[in-house]
Protein backbone atom coordinates (compact mmCIF):
# COMPACT_ATOMS: atom_id res chain seq x y z
CA UNK A 1 0.00 0.00 0.00
CA UNK A 2 2.25 2.76 1.25
CA UNK A 3 5.20 1.15 -0.41
CA UNK A 4 4.10 2.32 -3.84
CA UNK A 5 4.37 5.87 -2.65
CA UNK A 6 7.91 5.30 -1.52
CA UNK A 7 8.83 3.82 -4.84
CA UNK A 8 7.32 6.71 -6.74
CA UNK A 9 9.25 9.23 -4.70
CA UNK A 10 12.77 7.94 -4.13
CA UNK A 11 14.26 9.03 -0.83
CA UNK A 12 16.44 12.07 -0.55
CA UNK A 13 19.52 9.92 -0.80
CA UNK A 14 18.74 9.42 -4.47
CA UNK A 15 19.99 12.91 -5.17
CA UNK A 16 23.47 11.76 -4.33
CA UNK A 17 23.72 10.05 -7.65
CA UNK A 18 26.27 12.51 -8.89
CA UNK A 19 28.60 11.75 -6.02
CA UNK A 20 29.50 8.17 -6.82
CA UNK A 21 30.16 9.35 -10.37
CA UNK A 22 32.66 11.83 -9.11
CA UNK A 23 34.31 9.15 -7.06
CA UNK A 24 34.36 6.74 -9.95
CA UNK A 25 37.94 5.82 -9.87
CA UNK A 26 37.65 3.33 -12.72
CA UNK A 27 38.54 -0.08 -11.38
CA UNK A 28 40.00 -2.83 -13.50
CA UNK A 29 37.29 -4.75 -15.35
CA UNK A 30 38.37 -8.02 -13.74
CA UNK A 31 37.74 -6.60 -10.30
CA UNK A 32 34.25 -5.51 -11.33
CA UNK A 33 33.56 -8.98 -12.62
CA UNK A 34 34.71 -10.51 -9.34
CA UNK A 35 32.55 -8.02 -7.45
CA UNK A 36 29.44 -8.83 -9.49
CA UNK A 37 30.00 -12.54 -9.19
CA UNK A 38 30.89 -12.94 -5.53
CA UNK A 39 29.37 -9.99 -3.67
CA UNK A 40 25.90 -11.56 -3.46
CA UNK A 41 27.35 -14.65 -1.81
CA UNK A 42 29.31 -12.52 0.59
CA UNK A 43 26.13 -10.68 1.58
CA UNK A 44 24.13 -13.79 2.37
CA UNK A 45 27.09 -15.51 4.01
CA UNK A 46 26.50 -14.24 7.57
CA UNK A 47 23.10 -15.89 7.72
CA UNK A 48 24.29 -19.20 6.35
CA UNK A 49 27.35 -19.27 8.57
CA UNK A 50 25.24 -18.77 11.69
CA UNK A 51 22.55 -21.09 10.41
CA UNK A 52 25.05 -23.85 9.69
CA UNK A 53 26.76 -23.73 13.07
CA UNK A 54 23.86 -22.93 15.40
CA UNK A 55 20.84 -24.49 13.62
CA UNK A 56 21.67 -27.06 10.97
CA UNK A 57 24.46 -28.74 12.87
CA UNK A 58 22.49 -29.03 16.15
CA UNK A 59 19.45 -30.37 14.30
CA UNK A 60 21.51 -33.02 12.54
CA UNK A 61 23.16 -33.85 15.84
CA UNK A 62 19.74 -34.23 17.46
CA UNK A 63 18.81 -36.91 14.95
CA UNK A 64 21.99 -38.81 15.68
CA UNK A 65 21.91 -38.39 19.45
CA UNK A 66 18.35 -39.67 19.55
CA UNK A 67 19.66 -43.01 18.31
CA UNK A 68 22.12 -43.34 21.19
CA UNK A 69 22.07 -43.55 24.97
CA UNK A 70 24.37 -40.59 25.40
CA UNK A 71 24.42 -39.07 28.84
CA UNK A 72 26.94 -37.02 30.81
CA UNK A 73 26.70 -39.81 33.38
CA UNK A 74 27.83 -42.50 30.92
CA UNK A 75 31.46 -42.97 30.12
CA UNK A 76 30.67 -44.58 26.78
CA UNK A 77 28.04 -43.91 24.16
CA UNK A 78 26.34 -46.81 22.48
CA UNK A 79 24.06 -46.89 19.51
CA UNK A 80 20.59 -48.06 20.52
CA UNK A 81 18.70 -47.72 17.25
CA UNK A 82 15.08 -46.73 17.69
CA UNK A 83 14.88 -47.82 21.34
CA UNK A 84 14.39 -44.27 22.58
CA UNK A 85 11.45 -43.72 20.26
CA UNK A 86 9.87 -47.05 21.16
CA UNK A 87 10.13 -46.27 24.85
CA UNK A 88 8.82 -42.73 24.33
CA UNK A 89 5.79 -43.80 22.34
CA UNK A 90 4.85 -47.00 24.16
CA UNK A 91 6.16 -46.81 27.69
CA UNK A 92 6.28 -43.24 28.93
CA UNK A 93 3.08 -42.02 30.59
CA UNK A 94 4.73 -38.78 31.65
CA UNK A 95 5.47 -37.87 28.06
CA UNK A 96 1.89 -38.54 27.04
CA UNK A 97 0.70 -36.53 30.01
CA UNK A 98 2.77 -33.62 28.71
CA UNK A 99 1.35 -34.10 25.20
CA UNK A 100 -2.21 -34.01 26.54
CA UNK A 101 -1.47 -30.91 28.62
CA UNK A 102 0.18 -29.11 25.73
CA UNK A 103 -2.66 -29.82 23.35
CA UNK A 104 -5.29 -29.02 25.95
CA UNK A 105 -3.80 -25.62 26.63
CA UNK A 106 -3.16 -25.08 22.93
CA UNK A 107 -6.82 -25.56 22.05
CA UNK A 108 -8.05 -23.74 25.14
CA UNK A 109 -5.94 -20.70 24.29
CA UNK A 110 -5.90 -20.61 20.50
CA UNK A 111 -9.63 -20.87 19.78
CA UNK A 112 -10.76 -17.96 21.97
CA UNK A 113 -7.63 -16.01 21.08
CA UNK A 114 -8.34 -15.97 17.36
CA UNK A 115 -12.09 -15.49 17.78
CA UNK A 116 -11.62 -12.55 20.14
CA UNK A 117 -9.01 -11.09 17.79
CA UNK A 118 -11.48 -11.31 14.90
CA UNK A 119 -14.19 -9.56 16.90
CA UNK A 120 -11.81 -6.83 18.07
CA UNK A 121 -10.43 -6.30 14.58
CA UNK A 122 -13.95 -6.01 13.23
CA UNK A 123 -14.69 -3.33 15.82
CA UNK A 124 -11.43 -1.49 15.08
CA UNK A 125 -12.33 -1.53 11.41
CA UNK A 126 -15.33 0.73 12.03
CA UNK A 127 -15.25 4.49 11.81
CA UNK A 128 -13.87 5.49 15.16
CA UNK A 129 -12.66 8.51 16.92
CA UNK A 130 -9.29 8.00 18.67
CA UNK A 131 -8.33 5.13 16.36
CA UNK A 132 -4.67 5.32 17.28
CA UNK A 133 -5.40 5.21 20.99
CA UNK A 134 -7.48 2.06 20.64
CA UNK A 135 -4.89 0.34 18.51
CA UNK A 136 -2.06 1.23 20.87
CA UNK A 137 -4.00 0.19 23.96
CA UNK A 138 -4.98 -3.14 22.49
CA UNK A 139 -1.46 -3.82 21.19
CA UNK A 140 0.22 -2.85 24.44
CA UNK A 141 0.50 -6.35 25.96
CA UNK A 142 3.05 -7.29 23.29
CA UNK A 143 5.69 -5.27 25.14
CA UNK A 144 5.55 -7.62 28.12
CA UNK A 145 7.73 -10.70 28.23
CA UNK A 146 6.19 -14.10 28.80
CA UNK A 147 7.98 -14.11 32.17
CA UNK A 148 6.32 -10.85 33.21
CA UNK A 149 2.91 -12.07 32.07
CA UNK A 150 3.35 -15.31 33.98
CA UNK A 151 4.36 -13.54 37.20
CA UNK A 152 1.51 -11.02 37.11
CA UNK A 153 -1.13 -13.62 36.35
CA UNK A 154 0.31 -16.03 38.89
CA UNK A 155 -0.65 -13.55 41.54
CA UNK A 156 -4.01 -12.79 39.97
CA UNK A 157 -4.68 -16.54 40.18
CA UNK A 158 -3.28 -16.96 43.69
CA UNK A 159 -5.32 -19.31 45.84
CA UNK A 160 -5.52 -17.17 48.98
CA UNK A 161 -5.38 -13.51 48.04
CA UNK A 162 -5.81 -13.65 44.28
CA UNK A 163 -7.95 -11.22 42.37
CA UNK A 164 -9.90 -13.86 40.47
CA UNK A 165 -10.83 -15.75 43.61
CA UNK A 166 -11.89 -12.48 45.20
CA UNK A 167 -14.17 -11.81 42.20
CA UNK A 168 -15.56 -15.34 42.47
CA UNK A 169 -16.21 -14.77 46.15
CA UNK A 170 -18.01 -11.55 45.29
CA UNK A 171 -20.54 -13.42 43.16
CA UNK A 172 -20.86 -16.14 45.76
CA UNK A 173 -18.63 -18.83 44.29
CA UNK A 174 -16.03 -20.68 46.32
CA UNK A 175 -12.35 -20.10 45.76
CA UNK A 176 -10.61 -22.27 43.18
CA UNK A 177 -7.15 -23.72 43.70
CA UNK A 178 -5.93 -22.76 40.25
CA UNK A 179 -2.80 -24.87 40.44
CA UNK A 180 -4.16 -28.06 41.93
CA UNK A 181 -6.90 -28.73 39.44
CA UNK A 182 -5.82 -29.73 35.95
CA UNK A 183 -8.56 -27.97 34.01
CA UNK A 184 -8.31 -24.86 36.19
CA UNK A 185 -4.57 -24.63 35.63
CA UNK A 186 -5.02 -25.03 31.88
CA UNK A 187 -7.59 -22.26 31.93
CA UNK A 188 -5.38 -19.91 33.94
CA UNK A 189 -2.37 -20.48 31.70
CA UNK A 190 -4.48 -20.08 28.56
CA UNK A 191 -5.68 -16.68 29.71
CA UNK A 192 -2.04 -15.60 30.10
CA UNK A 193 -1.32 -16.60 26.53
CA UNK A 194 -4.46 -14.91 25.26
CA UNK A 195 -3.88 -11.68 27.12
CA UNK A 196 -0.53 -11.27 25.43
CA UNK A 197 -1.53 -12.33 21.91
CA UNK A 198 -5.14 -11.26 21.21
CA UNK A 199 -4.17 -7.67 20.39
CA UNK A 200 -1.35 -8.76 18.13
CA UNK A 201 -3.62 -11.04 16.14
CA UNK A 202 -6.31 -8.36 16.03
CA UNK A 203 -3.86 -5.99 14.34
CA UNK A 204 -3.01 -8.62 11.76
CA UNK A 205 -6.69 -9.23 11.03
CA UNK A 206 -7.35 -5.50 10.93
CA UNK A 207 -4.65 -5.03 8.29
CA UNK A 208 -6.21 -7.77 6.18
CA UNK A 209 -9.74 -6.37 6.67
CA UNK A 210 -8.62 -2.97 5.44
CA UNK A 211 -7.48 -4.46 2.17
CA UNK A 212 -10.94 -5.92 1.45
CA UNK A 213 -12.77 -3.79 -1.10
CA UNK A 214 -15.45 -1.60 0.48
CA UNK A 215 -17.63 -2.05 -2.59
CA UNK A 216 -18.35 -5.64 -1.64
CA UNK A 217 -19.89 -4.54 1.64
CA UNK A 218 -21.88 -1.76 0.03
CA UNK A 219 -23.25 -4.14 -2.56
CA UNK A 220 -24.16 -6.65 0.12
CA UNK A 221 -25.84 -3.96 2.20
CA UNK A 222 -27.90 -2.90 -0.82
CA UNK A 223 -29.00 -6.50 -1.15
CA UNK A 224 -30.15 -6.32 2.43
CA UNK A 225 -27.46 -8.41 4.08
CA UNK A 226 -27.14 -7.71 7.79
CA UNK A 227 -23.83 -6.81 9.37
CA UNK A 228 -23.52 -10.23 10.87
CA UNK A 229 -24.21 -11.80 7.52
CA UNK A 230 -21.60 -9.55 5.90
CA UNK A 231 -19.07 -10.58 8.53
CA UNK A 232 -19.55 -14.29 7.89
CA UNK A 233 -20.04 -14.11 4.12
CA UNK A 234 -17.52 -11.47 3.12
CA UNK A 235 -15.00 -10.80 5.89
CA UNK A 236 -14.25 -14.38 6.97
CA UNK A 237 -13.78 -15.84 3.47
CA UNK A 238 -11.65 -12.87 2.41
CA UNK A 239 -9.53 -13.32 5.50
CA UNK A 240 -8.80 -16.96 4.80
CA UNK A 241 -5.07 -16.64 4.02
CA UNK A 242 -4.60 -14.45 7.08
CA UNK A 243 -6.47 -16.86 9.32
CA UNK A 244 -4.29 -19.70 8.07
CA UNK A 245 -1.21 -17.58 8.77
CA UNK A 246 -2.25 -16.80 12.34
CA UNK A 247 -3.24 -20.42 12.93
CA UNK A 248 0.19 -21.64 11.90
CA UNK A 249 1.97 -18.99 13.96
CA UNK A 250 -0.19 -19.89 16.96
CA UNK A 251 0.49 -23.57 16.45
CA UNK A 252 4.25 -23.11 16.37
CA UNK A 253 4.09 -20.87 19.44
CA UNK A 254 1.39 -22.75 21.34
CA UNK A 255 2.98 -26.18 21.13
CA UNK A 256 6.25 -24.72 22.43
CA UNK A 257 4.50 -23.33 25.51
CA UNK A 258 7.02 -23.10 28.32
CA UNK A 259 7.49 -19.91 30.32
CA UNK A 260 3.94 -19.41 31.55
CA UNK A 261 3.49 -22.88 33.05
CA UNK A 262 7.06 -22.86 34.39
CA UNK A 263 6.58 -19.64 36.36
CA UNK A 264 3.03 -20.54 37.40
CA UNK A 265 4.72 -22.46 40.23
CA UNK A 266 6.51 -20.14 42.60
CA UNK A 267 9.63 -21.43 44.29
CA UNK A 268 11.91 -23.99 42.70
CA UNK A 269 10.66 -27.12 40.97
CA UNK A 270 8.54 -25.32 38.40
CA UNK A 271 9.79 -27.64 35.69
CA UNK A 272 7.57 -30.49 36.87
CA UNK A 273 4.45 -28.44 36.11
CA UNK A 274 2.49 -28.88 39.31
CA UNK A 275 2.46 -31.55 41.99
CA UNK A 276 1.28 -34.22 39.57
CA UNK A 277 2.51 -32.68 36.36
CA UNK A 278 -0.99 -31.39 35.64
CA UNK A 279 0.41 -28.52 33.58
CA UNK A 280 3.76 -29.83 32.47
CA UNK A 281 4.19 -29.17 28.74
CA UNK A 282 6.34 -31.06 26.22
CA UNK A 283 9.08 -28.43 26.31
CA UNK A 284 9.17 -28.57 30.11
CA UNK A 285 9.41 -32.33 29.93
CA UNK A 286 12.23 -32.03 27.41
CA UNK A 287 14.29 -29.94 29.82
CA UNK A 288 13.30 -32.25 32.66
CA UNK A 289 14.74 -35.23 30.77
CA UNK A 290 17.79 -33.27 29.68
CA UNK A 291 18.80 -31.47 32.87
CA UNK A 292 17.32 -33.46 35.73
CA UNK A 293 17.62 -37.01 34.46
CA UNK A 294 20.56 -36.42 32.13
CA UNK A 295 19.17 -38.77 29.50
CA UNK A 296 20.47 -36.86 26.53
CA UNK A 297 19.74 -39.48 23.89
CA UNK A 298 16.17 -39.73 25.11
CA UNK A 299 15.84 -35.93 25.15
CA UNK A 300 16.84 -35.93 21.49
CA UNK A 301 13.92 -38.25 20.77
CA UNK A 302 11.55 -35.98 22.70
CA UNK A 303 12.73 -32.95 20.70
CA UNK A 304 12.22 -34.74 17.40
CA UNK A 305 8.74 -35.94 18.29
CA UNK A 306 7.81 -32.42 19.43
CA UNK A 307 8.93 -31.06 16.09
CA UNK A 308 6.98 -33.69 14.17
CA UNK A 309 3.86 -32.89 16.20
CA UNK A 310 4.19 -29.19 15.40
CA UNK A 311 4.63 -29.92 11.70
CA UNK A 312 1.68 -32.32 11.70
CA UNK A 313 -0.69 -29.98 13.54
CA UNK A 314 0.31 -27.04 11.33
CA UNK A 315 -0.52 -29.13 8.30
CA UNK A 316 -3.87 -30.26 9.72
CA UNK A 317 -4.75 -26.66 10.63
CA UNK A 318 -3.82 -25.53 7.18
CA UNK A 319 -6.01 -28.13 5.52
CA UNK A 320 -8.90 -27.51 7.91
CA UNK A 321 -8.83 -23.75 7.48
CA UNK A 322 -8.74 -24.13 3.73
CA UNK A 323 -11.63 -26.53 3.81
CA UNK A 324 -13.84 -24.58 6.19
CA UNK A 325 -13.60 -21.29 4.38
CA UNK A 326 -14.12 -22.75 0.95
CA UNK A 327 -17.33 -24.41 2.10
CA UNK A 328 -18.89 -21.03 2.72
Partner 1 sequence: MTTTTLRPPVRPAAKAPRDAHQADRLWKATPLTWFGLVLGVILSLFPFYWMIVIASRTNDAANSWPPPFLPGGKLGENIQRVLENGDANIVKGLMNSFLVSGTITIATVFFGSLAGFAFAKLRFRGKNAMLLVILASMMVPIQLGVLPLYILMAELDWLNTMPSVTVPFLIGGFGIFMMRQYAEQAVPNELIEAARVDGCSTWRVYWHVVVPALRPAAAVLGLLTFMEQWNQFFWPFVVLADPANPTVQISLRSLNTAYFADNSQIFAGTLIATLPLFIVFVLFGRQIIGGIMEGAVKS
Identify residues 29-58 at the interface with partner 1 (CB under 8 A): 32, 35-37, 39-41, 43-44, 46-48, 50-51, 53-55, 57-58
Between 21 and 323, CB nearer to partner 1: 21
Binders of partner 1 among residues 212 to 251 (CB under 8 A) are 214, 217-218, 221-222, 242, 245
Q: What span, in angstroms and rounded, lies between the C-alpha atoms of 251 and 247? A: 6
How many angstroms separate the Cα of 74 from the Cα of each of 202, 218, 279? 51, 71, 31
28 makes contact with partner 1 (CB under 8 A) = no
Residue from 86, 163, 183, 316 in contact with partner 1 (CB under 8 A) = 163
Among 99, 108, 114, 120, binds partner 1 (CB under 8 A): 120
Question: Phi and psi at residue 287, in whole multiples of 5°?
Answer: -70, -30
Q: Binding partner 1 by CB under 8 A: which of 6, 91, 223, 327?
A: 6
Q: Which stretch binds partner 1 (CB under 8 A): 60-68, 83-91, 103-111, 178-186?
A: 60-68
Taking the C-alpha atoms of residue 2 and residue 115, their distance in angstroms, rounded to an integer, is 28
Dihedral, 232, 236, 237, 243 alpha carbons, nearest 10: -150
Contact 272, 287 (CB under 8 A): no
How many chain residues are in contact with partner 1, going by CB under 8 A? 125
CA 75 to chain centre: 39
Q: Which of 67, 74, 80, 139 binds partner 1 (CB under 8 A)?
A: 139
Residue 253 CA to residue 250 CA, distance in Å, equals 5
Given the complex with partner 1, which of 218 and 276 has the nearer CB atom? 218
Q: Which of 68, 97 has the CB closer to partner 1?
A: 68
Which residue among 234, 247, 303, 321 contacts partner 1 (CB under 8 A)? 303
| Strand segments (E) across 201-240 | none
Query: Least distance (Å) from partner 1 to the CB of residue 181?
Result: 20
Binders of partner 1 in range 90-119 (CB under 8 A): 119
Whether residue 65 contacts residue 300, with contact meaning beta carbons closer than 8 Å, is answered with: yes
| Residue 283 · residue 257 · CB < 8 Å | yes
Amino acid sequence: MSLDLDTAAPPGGGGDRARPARAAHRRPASLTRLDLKYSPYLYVLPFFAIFAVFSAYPIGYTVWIALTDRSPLNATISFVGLDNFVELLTDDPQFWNAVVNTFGMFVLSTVPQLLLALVLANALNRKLRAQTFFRMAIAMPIITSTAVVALIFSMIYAKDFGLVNWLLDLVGLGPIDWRANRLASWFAISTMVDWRWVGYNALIYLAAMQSISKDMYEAAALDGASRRRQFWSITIPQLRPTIIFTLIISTIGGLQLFTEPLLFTSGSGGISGGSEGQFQTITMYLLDVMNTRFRWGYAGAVALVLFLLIALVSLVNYLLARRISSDK
